[in-house]
C-alpha cells in the first residue's frame, strides 16, 4: 500500500461550458469515479489517486496519493483524458448547422464530453456491460481493482489502480477467481481475452494502444476477435479509448432518437434539403435512403440499428460518436438530472462505415486548438 501527502488544488482553467464533471462521469462511459464530496470526484487513474472538483468557473484537481514509480504529469494526463483540445462549443456550432436543436442541447447539456480512457480498462469494463446496469458494472470494476490492482491510501480512503493484463495473466485460475467475485458467465470471457492478448503479444497493452492509429474498421475487427466483445462493446472501446470519434454505438435509445428526431425531418420536402445542405449529393442520397429504411421499420432489428448508425455518421460526420453521446445524455427539452444513472444498453452496430464526408477537414480544424 502506498500513500503520500495531499497536494494543493490546481485549476485546469476549463469553463463549465466545456466540461461538467457530474454528467460526464456518470453517463455510462466511466465507472470508477467516486463522488467523495460536494462536487468532488475521486479515482485511481493510472498510478495516481486524483481528486477533481467542479467550481462555478472551472474544474480543479489535486493528487491525493500515488505509486512510488509514478512519473506522469497529472495535468497533461487529465487534459488528454478529457480531450480538452477538442472544443465542445465548436462541435455544437457545427452540429447545429445540420440540426438547429443542438443550439438548445448545448445549453441544457453543456460540457458533456466523450472521454479518452485507458484502453485496457475500457475494454475489460465494457466486457462486463452487456446485459448489465451501471451499478453492477461499477461493482464488478471495483472488485477487479480491489483483487488485482495496487492500493493507494489517501485521506478519503483506500483506492485501487486498474490491473494490467500481465497482472491478470499471473492468476492461473482467473476464471475461477472472477466467478467467486461474482462475474458469473463473464468470467470465462475475461480468462479467454486475457490469455489471447498475452499469448499473442509480448506487450498486449502496446498492441491495443496501437489500434489508435489504425482505421476504424481494422480496430473494430481486432476487438471483435476477443471473447466477450460484440459490435456494441467494440464500438464503445473504439469511441472512448481508441480515438475513433466517428464510431457510433447504437442502442435502443439511439435507434428511437433517430426515428423520432431525424427520419421525418430528413424526408420532409422542406426541412430535409436544409438539414442535408452541407453534404455532397451522394451523401444526401444515402441519408435519404437510410431514413426511408428506418421509416419502414416499426421495431428495432440488427439491420435498422445499423441504418441508424449510418444515418448519424452521414449527418454528423467525423465526430458523430460525440454527437451520439450528447444525445444519449438526455433528449432535448429535458433538464439533465443531477447524478443521473442511465443504464448502459445493448448496442448493435455495423462493421462498415461510409467514407468521411466533405466536412471532415473543416470540422477537425474548427474544434481543435
Active site residues: 232
**Which residues, at least 6 apart from 285, have a Cβ–Cβ distance to it below 8 Å?**
none
How many Å apart are CA 172 and CA 153, to the nearest integer? 28
The DSSP H or E segment spanning 274 is helix 271-275
> What single-letter DSSP state applies at residue 347?
B
How many Å apart are CA 283 and CA 166, to the nearest integer? 45
- Coil, strand or helix at 192: helix
How many Å apart are CA 167 and CA 148, to the nearest integer? 7
How many Å apart are CA 122 and CA 235, to the nearest integer? 11
How many Å apart are CA 297 and CA 27, to the nearest integer? 28
How many Å apart are CA 188 and CA 252, to the nearest integer? 27
Closest CA to 312 of 259, 268, 361: 259
Amino acid at each position: 500500500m502506498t500513500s503520500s501527502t495531499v497536494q494543493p488544488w490546481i485549476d485546469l482553467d476549463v469553463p463549465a461550458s466545456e466540461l461538467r464533471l457530474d454528467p460526464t462521469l456518470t453517463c455510462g462511459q466511466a465507472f470508477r469515479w467516486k463522488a467523495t464530496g460536494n462536487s468532488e470526484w475521486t479515482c485511481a487513474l493510472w498510478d495516481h489517486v486524483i481528486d477533481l472538483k467542479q467550481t462555478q468557473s472551472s474544474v480543479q484537481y489535486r493528487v491525493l496519493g500515488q505509486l512510488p514509480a509514478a512519473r506522469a504529469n497529472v495535468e497533461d494526463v487529465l487534459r488528454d483524458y478529457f480531450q480538452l483540445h477538442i472544443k465542445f462549443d465548436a462541435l455544437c456550432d457545427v452540429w447545429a448547422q445540420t440540426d438547429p436543436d443542438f443550439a438548445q442541447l448545448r445549453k441544457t447539456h453543456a460540457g458533456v464530453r466523450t472521454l479518452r480512457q485507458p484502453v485496457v480498462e475500457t475494454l475489460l469494463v465494457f466486457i462486463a456491460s452487456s446485459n448489465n446496469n451501471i451499478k453492477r458494472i461499477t461493482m464488478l470494476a471495483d472488485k477487479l481493482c480491489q483483487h488485482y490492482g495496487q492500493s493507494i491510501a489517501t485521506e478519503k480512503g483506500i483506492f485501487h489502480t486498474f490491473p494490467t493484463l500481465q497482472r491478470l495473466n499471473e492468476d492461473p485460475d482467473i476464471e475461477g477467481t472472477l466467478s467467486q467475485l461474482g462475474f458469473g458467465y463473464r468470467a470465462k470471457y475475461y480468462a479467454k481475452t486475457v490469455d489471447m492478448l498475452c499469448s499473442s503479444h509480448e506487450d498486449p497493452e502496446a498492441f491495443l494502444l496501437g489500434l489508435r492509429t489504425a482505421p476504424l474498421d481494422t480496430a473494430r475487427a481486432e476487438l471483435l476477435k476477443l471473447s466477450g466483445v460484440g459490435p456494441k462493446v467494440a464500438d464503445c472501446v473504439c469511441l472512448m479509448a481508441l480515438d475513433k470519434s466517428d464510431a457510433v454505438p447504437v442502442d435502443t435509445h439511439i435507434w428511437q432518437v433517430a426515428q423520432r428526431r431525424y427520419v421525418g425531418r430528413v424526408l420532409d420536402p422542406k426541412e430535409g434539403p436544409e438539414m442535408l445542405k452541407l453534404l455532397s449529393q451522394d451523401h444526401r442520397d444515402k441519408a435519404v435512403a437510410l431514413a426511408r429504411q428506418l421509416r419502414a421499420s416499426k421495431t428495432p432489428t440488427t439491420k435498422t440499428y445499423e441504418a441508424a448508425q449510418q444515418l448519424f455518421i452521414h449527418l454528423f460526420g467525423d465526430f458523430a460518436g460525440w454527437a451520439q453521446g450528447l444525445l444519449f445524455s438526455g433528449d432535448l427539452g429535458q433538464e439533465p438530472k443531477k447524478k443521473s444513472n442511465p443504464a448502459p444498453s445493448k448496442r448493435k452496430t455495423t462493421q462498415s462505415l461510409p467514407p468521411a464526408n466533405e466536412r471532415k477537414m473543416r470540422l477537425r480544424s474548427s474544434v481543435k486548438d
